[in-house]
Chain A
Amino acid sequence: MGADELVINMGPQHPSTHGVLRVKLKLDGERVIGSECVIGYLHRGVEKIAENRTYQQFAPYVDRMDYVAAVSSGLGYCEAVEKLLMVEAPPRARVIRTILTELQRIASHLLWLGTHALDIGALTPLFYCFREREEILKIFEKYCGARLTTHAFRIGGLQYEAYDTLEKDVERFCKDFESRIVEYETLLTQNRIWIGRTKGVGVLTAEDAIAFGVTGPVLRASGVKWDIRKAMPYAAYDQYKFEIPVGTTGDTYDRYLVRMEEMRQSRLICLQAIENIPSGPILAKVGKVLKPPPGEVYHAIEAPKGEIGYYIVSDGTVMPYRVHIRPPSFINLQAFDRMVRGHLVADVVAIIGTIDIVLGEVDR
């Protein structure tokens, strides 16, 4: 380390490291010449816990990983175990799962937008985003009683039947939400300062993104059109029409635009889905005790933050032999160093925000 290099510790108690991320920044003046992420402050050993719980018992634990997108994590786990059991959720359950997961995507993106804007210094969008997110959480609460760690789905389908006014609630939310997105965009999209702070910041080329294994909006903003909802449809996504927004340059501004468009598309998916919810059972015949045949399975879904994958090995007992989780936040965070190098301290927080990490998921 030279005499004019400054090492500062950002976090784990820094206001904008989104939880307990600790970043060691090597600075030359205000310019970042190197960085190192120190993680693990929120490690709970989720994967190890899985080995000592039955398949059903472990389901609520996955909600605690990405706690701002619990529904999506739950969907991935349930579908993975269903694949292992070789059962399929009934059509009605699949459609309701799709609706709730898309609402969760909007909620997660709203939280991202609010905190990202706050990091860059815009105080107000946070409150507007939380206002809309509140509506979504209310729908979750009505559906399953919980707002954050919902545990909304069960292996084989759903535990709860959709409540009577679910369609109406979702429809009303989607109607309001259209103009609300426009509101956020008037505050930010054309704002000179916003553009100045995000354009050309944290550029990740398509080759780099693929090499790092980055997924989700971060990958798509780099121009790679990869979305598991289209590539390997799960739940009921093959029934709906939607676009996959992609960026061109892979900078922070592109990632912002991609996520904004994703919220619009999620809204469209919800509107399509509530139009025709098939009737029928909501839970496949899976039995009370789950004993999947010995074997292994990998199942991934497109969570708001990227590909969340579950690799489950069964030894034929009621408890999984091994569960490995591929959390999108953890893998996307690996590109952080490449993205911040050469930028200023102020850009570091913008880049942490734009990767959209949740430390509960990074550390597990």
Chain B
Amino acid sequence: MMNAALQATLEFLKLYWAPLLCGVAVVAILPLVVGYIVLVERKIMADMQARLGPMRVGPHGLLQPIADAVKLLIKEDIIPENADKLVFWLAPVLSVGAGLLSLAGLAIGPAFQIAQDINIGILFVVGISALGIFGIVLGGWASNSHYSLMGALRSSAQLVSYETAAGMALVSALLFTGTLNIKSIVEAQSKEGIWFVLLAPVAFFTYLVASIAETNRAPFDLPEAESELVAGYMTEFSGFRWSLYFLAEYTNMIVVASVATTLFLGGWLRPFSGVPWLNFLDFVPPLLLSAIGAYCVLRMPKQPTRVQQLFMLAMAGLCFVVALVLAAPVVLPVIKPSLRAAVAPFYAGIHGGFWFIFKVSLYIYFFMWLRFTIPRYRFDQLMRLGWHFLIPLSIINVLLVGVALIAGAYFHLQGWGLLLVTTPAAVVALVAAFLILAVEKERDARQEQTAASDFYAG
């Protein structure tokens, strides 16, 4: 009896130990990653605003996220008197839980996926990450504050309207693959030899805009618009609860960036992965990291204190180690061609991971760049942009991509040849976009005329 139970447990573990381990790793590492994304964001912001950003904690502020995390952890935990305590407690957990859970479906490389080969992969990721909105709405409601409530209302309205456009954009890309399985989607792009961003540029654009709105990032950061709603749904949250919301927001950013990378930017594939004469691109990742390491070594003497110098050296060491890991699967076959087959899975895993993270970083960088450049939309403008522009455009685009695919099948086009039919489709979609804008403008002008006459009547 006892033996059988042990046997069963072992069987269970055998099947699930890798995902479990990965899950624990994600929960343990992600807060750190998010902390460093915030640091990078602050550094990028500082760079764009002619200043230095955090410089005090560690060399170039490299330890700032840890200091921030400690500060947030030891802060007083305040629950407002009139708040609904249970919901107030539950809401941030719900938000961050949804974000972390959706990470499970993502494939960072051909080998790294926690929930292996779910056949509804992308649907799972999108669906679970959308659940995070419950945390925001409930948190805003439970705080029992006007600002929080308005932030929550805005947030839910925004998610509902932009989820539609994002979903339609995903459909256009999925039309090329015919599967929802994340691995198969990337493999389809590998087989075609072309990324779907080129085949469906309009869908990529719609997804880009919709994903910014979904993650509540500027210029669509109305739910937490600091200058209007203080901090929106987070107004009454402080300390660790607040940081959970923060974690959820950045996790969501990673999730949408990963979905975009998987669907449109070829997932873990190297640029031009099917072109043999461009194989020298494999040397780029190790060289890039070595360059960063060398830069750290060069800057080391400029650090003011001994500790900071050592820290800089440690950073350099870390970069070199990663560079070595990246270089090994590329260099070994060159030295000893017989090892090529043995090294291949390592190459796919390690370099796949690098390219995936690289693309996700670029996507997130774009988010940040936008945030520091443009002002915020107003609520009605945001809704109009969603319902009157993005949703019609994405629906039209789905139809056009479908037509293009039928034409492609008719002419037996494949890979880059598909561009012959998808480019006209994209052009037509663009024309449609401008038409929608023109109609919109005309109606605005008409409305203004009628509105102006009775503006002060009341």
Contact = CB atoms under 8 A, between A and B. Distances in A.
B76 to A, nearest CB: 18
A347 B372 contact: no
Given A8-B147, A128-B49, A342 B455 contact: yes
Interface of A: 6, 8, 14-16, 30, 117-124, 126-128, 131, 187-188, 191, 193-194, 196-197, 200, 203, 342, 344-349
B230 A15 contact: yes
B448 interface: yes
A345 B228 CA distance: 7
Contact of B49 (A119, A123, A200, A349): A123
Contact of A197 (B221, B373, B375): B375
Interface in B134-165: 146-147, 150
Given A124-B48, A124-B49, A15 B373 contact: no
B51 to A, nearest CB: 6
Nearest to B222: A346
Interface stretch (B124-132, B284-292, B376-384, B388-396): B376-384
A349 B222 CA distance: 13
Interface in B373-426: 373-381
B378 A15 contact: no
Contact of A346 (B45, B49, B147, B225): B225
B224 to A, nearest CB: 11
Given A8-B146, A349-B227, A121 B376 contact: yes
Contacts of B458: 342
Given A128-B50, A345-B150, A122 B228 contact: no
A122 B377 CA distance: 10
Interface of B: 45, 48-51, 146-147, 150, 218-219, 221-222, 225-230, 371-381, 448, 455, 458
Contacts of A194: 374-375
Nearest to A14: B230
Contacts of A347: 378
Contact of B219 (A127, A188, A193): A193
A346 to B, nearest CB: 5
A118 B227 contact: yes
A188 B375 CA distance: 8
Contacts of A15: 226-227, 230
A16 B228 contact: yes
Contacts of B374: 121-122, 191, 193-194
Given A128-B50, A342-B458, 4 more contacts: A122-B373, A196-B377, A342-B455, A346-B228
A349 B371 contact: no
A344 B378 contact: yes
Closest 3 CB pairs of A and B: A121-B376, A127-B49, A16-B227
A120 B375 CA distance: 6
12 contacts: A14-B230, A120-B376, A121-B218, A122-B375, A123-B372, A124-B373, A127-B49, A127-B50, A191-B374, A193-B381, A197-B381, A346-B379
Contacts of A121: 218-219, 221, 225, 227, 374-377
B377 A344 contact: no
Contacts of A187: 373
Given A124-B49, A127-B50, A131-B50, A193 B230 contact: no
Contacts of A200: 448
B375 A193 contact: yes
B218 A6 contact: no
- Residue among B222, B375, B380, B458 having the largest count of chain A Cβ atoms under 10 Å: B375
A8 B228 CA distance: 12
Given A16-B227, A120-B227, A342-B455, A127 B378 contact: no
A23 to B, nearest CB: 12
A124 B227 contact: no
A30 B455 CA distance: 17
- Residue among A117, A118, A194, A196 having the largest count of chain B Cβ atoms under 10 Å: A196
A127 B51 contact: yes
Given A8-B146, A127-B51, A342-B455, A191 B230 contact: no
A119 B45 CA distance: 17
- Residue among A15, A121, A188, A197 having the largest count of chain B Cβ atoms under 10 Å: A121
A202 to B, nearest CB: 12
B437 to A, nearest CB: 11
Contacts of A197: 375-378, 381
- Residue among B49, B146, B218, B228 having the largest count of chain A Cβ atoms under 10 Å: B228
Contacts of B375: 117, 120-122, 188, 191, 193-194, 197
Nearest to B51: A127
A239 B280 CA distance: 70
A110 to B, nearest CB: 14
A187 B50 CA distance: 15
Contact of A344 (B50, B218, B380): B380
B381 A196 contact: yes
A349 B51 contact: no
Contacts of A127: 49-51
B372 A124 contact: yes
Contacts of A193: 219, 374-377, 381
A193 B374 CA distance: 7
A351 B381 CA distance: 17
A278 B150 CA distance: 60
Nearest to B218: A121
Contacts of B48: 124
B407 to A, nearest CB: 35
B78 to A, nearest CB: 16
A345 B375 CA distance: 16
B209 to A, nearest CB: 13
Contacts of A122: 373-376
B1 to A, nearest CB: 64
